[in-house]
Structure 1
């Protein structure tokens, strides 16, 4: 029998010493040929760990747990939640692997699989950011020598596409809104009036509304940034329509005062059914999402002369003016010229606000 092997109940076991420490471990095979190969790999691994200080295999799940304990207090709550969402999506790819087995090729295979599943490039990029964060922590722990995600050219492999803005049409909105539950319909109207993101609306607390100063404080916007936006008469009327749930902070709530969720999926399911019915009846209908009301707010804001493009940037919470400038394409040349002027009518009411106050 080859050296450093012995058999117990028909199964080959390894027995050897490294730096005076004896190791005994089942090789989980009845084949001598396989046992010899596994012995060599096992001995090499233990020698690396003992002599060179290299880490043994660490499962992806353990790497995520270590990362979570470290990162949960280092980033904002929304960023942490978004990372966790991405990591849940890739469990099927990475759970069978150790963190040492995750290479650039493995990451490229993941990207291909996500694309085949119809996942958008922007989502894949967010997934890679979360994965890279876990691998950074693994490198800091000494489990891997470097982060394989860093070497990926994401701009080339997963190009970021700026999606074309399509504004929801009034006729299509009128076909959907009567079929929405009142609270979700009000939430969409509130977004159209304020331009807040979905998370910002569902996370809106009564304490964040200052009726004297006529402002809404967005405490945790994108990137956990705080900003203050005007409270219009229409927005205030929508808030007043929401019954208060005693002891709960949310303006828009469900059940026993919990924060309202699943708005996008509810709206998406309904618009899909309406689109199918419209197609059967040969009626024109254009689907829309909740986020499209944020686009509609931006265009109506500029068309009405309510403020300049720079004012709009602040209200929307955009980090760069380039993102906000996309809405100029929906304006006439004169409207665009006015919007780009710092002399735009700051504080002017939109037609929708004027209608509410009349």
Structure 2
């Protein structure tokens, strides 16, 4: 009787809602990939696939019809108990939701069960306190770094580019006539243009070119750098141990901290307004950029917020970088 009732319910669902029979999660992912991948940027698609791989052990045995809001809430709890960072969980949910949206579009489910989840409550976004790297600590680490890794850090401090944007920078992206750098692989696969300063140009020019390869910063046989964060972290730990033995003050930092340093120095030196900085950093909202106002004096904040603030023109930027 139960089986008959279930079958009757399935037939009614198909007749009324257009819902198909059970469709395996793996089949849904394959179909999603074939139909949606072309509309996503390469980086976004790769990031989604990475997230979906992390969820396979839980979701592969299921059909899309078995994925409910309750199951997703439990999945979130499991991931948090396992020590997975909230930012990673949110990215995973975004990828999962993309597949479920596709399943709904195909008529396999009535609606996306992830759509109604309150992600801010279930996976709160932790505000990371910005800590600027100290000159003394930078000097200790730079003294040990290979020149190419040091150049990547200095290039970020000069341009404000993200690590991924620096390591995917091609020589063709640098326009020495217009004095610009075109960031073709920015966050969200957006393109933006930032000024090319004399210092940034000098750093790029001292990178040896690998024939047949486009990257400004590369390793091995011309492949782009992909392990800089881990390598920088390794040097950081060695410097920290040495500093502890010698009772020398040392504060560890990450590559991304040079992007923060660029932003604060940009505003302190009057290179442009907070709105100009938003554009150079590629921030989606001004709220994110406004975090850097906390590092300014009241007069600097007033100037940074003024629409009359000096724009990040090439001449002042170049003079400041000389």
Please, what TM-score do these two structures have when normalized by structure 1? 0.82
- Going from structure 1 to structure 2, the CA distance change for 1:277 and 1:44 (only over 3 Å counts) comes to same
Match of 2:207 in 1: 242
Aligned to 1:157, which of 119, 122, 146? Answer: 122
Q: Distance in 2 between matches of 1:135 and 1:145?
A: 10
Q: What is the deviation of 1:105?
A: 1.8
Q: What is the deviation of 1:276?
A: 3.6
Aligned to 1:230, which of 186, 195, 206? Answer: 195
Match of 1:341 in 2: 306
Residue ranges of structure 2 left out of the alignment (5+ in a row) = none
- Aligned 8 A contact 2:28 2:99 in 1: yes
**1:131 aligned onto 2:96:** yes
Q: What is the deviation of 1:161?
A: 2.4
Higher strand share: 1
Looking at both structures, which has the greater relative contact order when contacts are Cα pairs under 8 Å and sequence separation is at least 6?
A: 2
- Aligned 8 A contact 1:209 1:217 in 2: yes
Match of 2:10 in 1: 48
- Aligned 8 A contact 2:274 2:304 in 1: yes
- Going from structure 1 to structure 2, the CA distance change for 1:42 and 1:96 (only over 3 Å counts) comes to farther
Q: Distance in 2 between matches of 1:197 and 1:277?
A: 29
Match of 1:98 in 2: 63
Q: What is the deviation of 1:277?
A: 3.6
Q: How does 1:196-235 map to 2 (within 5 A)?
A: 196-235=161-200
Match of 1:6 in 2: none
* Deviation string, structure 1 residues 77-113 (Cα, Å, up to 9, x no partner): 2221221121122222222222222111221122112
- Going from structure 1 to structure 2, the CA distance change for 1:301 and 1:137 (only over 3 Å counts) comes to same
**1:286 aligned onto 2:251:** yes
Q: Distance in 1 between matches of 2:19 and 2:191?
A: 44
Q: Distance in 2 between matches of 1:172 and 1:317?
A: 28
Q: How does 1:182-331 map to 2 (within 5 A)?
A: 182-331=147-296
Residue ranges of structure 1 left out of the alignment (5+ in a row) = 1-36
Q: Distance in 2 between matches of 1:333 and 1:175?
A: 32
* Deviation string, structure 1 residues 130-168 (Cα, Å, up to 9, x no partner): 110111111122222221101111111112222111111
- Aligned 8 A contact 1:49 1:55 in 2: no
- Aligned 8 A contact 2:157 2:259 in 1: yes
Q: What is the deviation of 1:302?
A: 0.7
Q: What is the deviation of 1:229?
A: 0.6
- Aligned 8 A contact 1:305 1:344 in 2: yes
Q: Distance in 2 between matches of 1:103 and 1:279?
A: 51
Please, what TM-score do these two structures have when normalized by structure 2? 0.91
The RMSD of aligned alpha carbons is: 2.3
Q: How many residues align?
A: 317
SS of the equivalent of 2:193 reads strand
* Deviation string, structure 1 residues 27-73 (Cα, Å, up to 9, x no partner): xxxxxxxxxx9xx6499459936975753332222211111111111
- Going from structure 1 to structure 2, the CA distance change for 1:321 and 1:43 (only over 3 Å counts) comes to closer
| Rg comparison, structure with higher value | 1
- Going from structure 1 to structure 2, the CA distance change for 1:203 and 1:192 (only over 3 Å counts) comes to same
Q: Distance in 2 between matches of 1:145 and 1:230?
A: 49
Aligned to 1:66, which of 12, 28, 31? Answer: 31
Q: Which moved more, 1:281-290 or 1:314-323?
A: 281-290
- Going from structure 1 to structure 2, the CA distance change for 1:93 and 1:282 (only over 3 Å counts) comes to farther
Q: Distance in 2 between matches of 1:109 and 1:340?
A: 44
